[in-house]
Amino acid sequence: MKPPSEDHDLIRWLDGEMNDTERASFEARLNSDPMLAKEAEELRALSAGIQAHLPVELKVPHADFFNSQIQVRIAQMDLEESRQRQDGTASLRDSLLAWLRQPWFTAAGAVALAVLGFIWMRPQTQDPGHSLILSSYTPSLGVEASTYHDNDADATVLMLDGLDEVPADHKISGISVHRSETEPEIAATTLFDATGAPLLVITRDDAGHPLFMPNYPRG
């Protein structure tokens, strides 16, 4: 192996880090030193190979979910900070609000599209009637989800733009969520119907993936 200074000359030349004078001088050496020229050529080929096979940009797996998770965590942080500002004595854990993910389904003919909404709800003991959609995730790239709160209806409205047309005679059965309960200790939220029966439990599995359990019997 060559002394460091010569090593540096070679890679500085290779990486275009030499000024004109240095480059001319080094290239004169290359012309008179076949071994150095051979090594330079090999390193240049190696460099080209690396650049060709290590793309500067990669497709992110589950890219929409990637974004949604960021939005959820940002909202968690914001709400947490807001809560801490309001109640300086509350501990971090006690003030942490759990977030929800609510699946939405609709169908057009044989095609079904699932839309997962990530919902943050305040614990019922504080403000049972209000919810806030933090972010939404649509598995279908052609569908864009947006939400707003309709004060007159006192309801959160989910808009799905890009769905296939639904025939007028198509019956869509939905569920009416009357209230929800959040259990921060187990990071689970349960949705109830008007009769008080549980409709859906939303939580995470051991790997942290969303878990939806319809009609889950509560202990």
Non-local CB neighbours of 128 within 8 Å, separated by 6+ positions: 122, 179, 180
Q: Which of 19, 21, 32, 52 binds another protein (CB under 8 A)?
A: 52
Least Å distance between CB 211 and another protein? 18
Enter the tokens of residue 139.
């598995």
Cα–Cα distance between 174 and 25 in angstroms, integer? 78
Cα–Cα distance between 53 and 174 in angstroms, integer? 50
- Which residue stretch of 22-30, 38-46, 120-128, 159-167 sits at the interface with another protein (rule: CB under 8 A)? 38-46
Taking CB under 8 A as the criterion, which residues in 53-92 touch another protein? 53-63, 66-67, 69-71, 73-75, 77-78
- Which residue stretch of 52-60, 92-100, 165-173, 179-187 sits at the interface with another protein (rule: CB under 8 A)? 52-60
- DSSP code string of 190-208: EEE-TTS-EEEEEEE-TTS
Enter the tokens of residue 27.
């290239």
Taking the C-alpha atoms of 134, 140, 142 and 147 in order, what is their torsion angle to the nearest 10 degrees? Answer: -20
Q: Closer to another protein at the Cβ: 47 or 124?
A: 47
Q: Which of 7, 87, 144, 161 binds another protein (CB under 8 A)?
A: 7
Q: Would the CA dihedral through 79, 81, 82, 86 be positive or negative? A: positive
Enter the tokens of residue 22.
């240095």
Least Å distance between CB 151 and another protein? 13
Interaction of residue 110 with another protein, rule CB under 8 A: no
Cα–Cα distance between 86 and 180 in angstroms, integer? 23
Interaction of residue 140 with another protein, rule CB under 8 A: no
Interaction of residue 51 with another protein, rule CB under 8 A: yes
Interaction of residue 153 with another protein, rule CB under 8 A: no
Least Å distance between CB 59 and another protein? 6
Q: Closer to another protein at the Cβ: 92 or 110?
A: 92
β-strands 198-204, 210-214: how paired?
A: antiparallel
Least Å distance between CB 77 and another protein? 7
Least Å distance between CB 110 and another protein? 31
Q: Which of 30, 134, 131 is nearest to 72 (CA)?
A: 134
Classified as helix, coil or strand, 153 is coil
Q: Which residues bind another protein (CB under 8 A)?
A: 1, 4, 7-8, 10-12, 15, 17, 34-35, 38, 41-43, 45-47, 49-63, 66-67, 69-71, 73-75, 77-78, 135, 148
